[in-house]
């Protein structure tokens, strides 16, 4: 047996090695932040450059800002870059334990917000967003839903579907008249065969979250799209009218679930929708 207090060659040793590697990466990133602070590079730009190099291991924007302030307040070149010892604190917030806790919280309350999850787990909102994307959840009309149905979920829907169809036909499926037709085609969400869509597309998760922050601060959707979107086909993220079957699955599902909104006060997908093209923030301007 290995001496007490030391990790053997098994699972414990592997975890210890991974934690040391993570600490080494964070140390390097702080050194990069200090250097770019001397060069008077803004925190947002520092984070963008680091995201391109470190990918998912890159610290979030709030951490970059905190270290920039620390370097500016202290003496550059003399700050202690090492992690302070903290009892029981994990080296990374995206490990299996946190993924399990995030999934548990979402399944207990499908309306829970990222901010609430971050507060319960003591990690950043950006990290929560990343973990949610890894788990494969996305938000539809302020409710977290799994992208794929399990066999058990499919079995549960078999007896429910006929009941819903009967209720629909009884309560208004056969309604006639132009007013009823207009309400169905122009309703706030769902239904219809085509939607007028705008989106913001970014390959990197960090960049799409920066765009999300701009939208939440009140910036117009088309202006954020022009600044951040990597899809240059239409200025301002305008994709025009798109019909069912012409969009990739997750994108179409999210688009038809959104209510109609305007550029000044857009209702958009939060968190972004992940497809093979990257991360999308989607809004709908019309439905027919």
Per-residue pLDDT of the chain (288 residues; tens, 9 = 90+): 444 444 444 444 443 444 445 557 778 888 888 889 888 899 999 989 988 888 878 888 878 888 888 888 765 555 555 545 544 444 454 477 888 788 888 888 878 888 899 888 888 888 888 888 877 776 655 555 555 566 676 666 666 667 667 666 665 544 333 344 444 434 445 567 889 999 999 888 999 999 999 999 999 998 888 888 887 545 788 888 888 888 888 898 898 999 999 988 899 998 899 988 889 999 999 998
Centre a 10 Å sphere on the Cβ of residue 3 and count the other Cβ atoms it contains: 6
Whats the size of the chain, residue-wise? 288
pTM, whole model, 2 decimals?
Answer: 0.37
Which tokens hold the place of 3?
Answer: 């001496």
CB distance 230 to 203 below 8 Å:
yes
What does residue 88 show for φ and ψ, rounded to 5 degrees?
Answer: 75, 5
Sequence-distant (≥ 6) Cβ neighbours of residue 130 within 8 angstroms: 56, 94, 205
Tell me the Cα Rg of the chain: 23
**What CA–CA distance (Å, rounded) separates 247 from 230?**
18
Is residue 197 within 8 A of residue 283, CB to CB? The reply is: yes
According to the model, what pLDDT value does residue 26 have? 76
For 26-65, letters b (16+ CB in 10 Å) and e give beebbebbbebbeeeeebeebbbebbeebeebbbbbebbb
Q: Which two tokens stand for residue 63?
A: 């951490």
């Amino acid at each position: 047996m290995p001496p007490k207090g030391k990790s053997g060659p098994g699972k414990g040793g592997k975890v210890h090695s991974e934690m040391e590697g993570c600490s080494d990466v964070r140390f390097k990133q702080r050194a990069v932040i200090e250097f770019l602070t001397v060069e008077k590079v803004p925190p947002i730009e520092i984070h963008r450059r680091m995201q391109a190099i470190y990918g998912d291991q890159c610290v979030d924007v709030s951490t970059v800002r905190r270290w920039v302030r620390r370097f500016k307040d202290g003496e550059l070149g003399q700050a202690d870059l090492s992690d302070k010892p903290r009892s029981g604190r994990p080296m990374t917030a995206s490990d299996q334990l946190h993924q399990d806790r995030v999934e548990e919280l979402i399944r207990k309350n499908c309306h829970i917000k990222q901010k609430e999850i971050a507060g319960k787990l003591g990690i950043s909102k950006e990290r929560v967003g990343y973990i949610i994307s890894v788990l494969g959840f996305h938000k539809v009309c302020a409710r977290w839903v799994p992208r794929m149905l399990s066999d058990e979920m499919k079995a549960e829907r078999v007896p429910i579907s006929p009941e819903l169809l009967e209720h629909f036909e009884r309560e208004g499926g056969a309604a006639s008249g132009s007013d009823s037709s207009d309400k169905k085609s122009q309703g706030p969400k769902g239904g219809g065969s085509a939607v007028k869509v705008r989106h913001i597309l970014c390959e990197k998760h960090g960049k799409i979250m920066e765009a999300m922050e701009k939208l939440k601060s009140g910036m117009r959707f088309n202006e954020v799209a022009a600044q951040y979107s990597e899809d240059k086909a239409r200025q301002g993220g305008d994709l025009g009218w798109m019909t069912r079957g012409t969009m990739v699955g997750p994108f179409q599902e999210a688009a038809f679930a959104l209510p109609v909104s305007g550029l000044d006060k857009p209702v958009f997908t939060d968190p972004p929708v992940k497809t093979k093209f990257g991360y999308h923030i989607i809004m709908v301007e019309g439905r027919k």
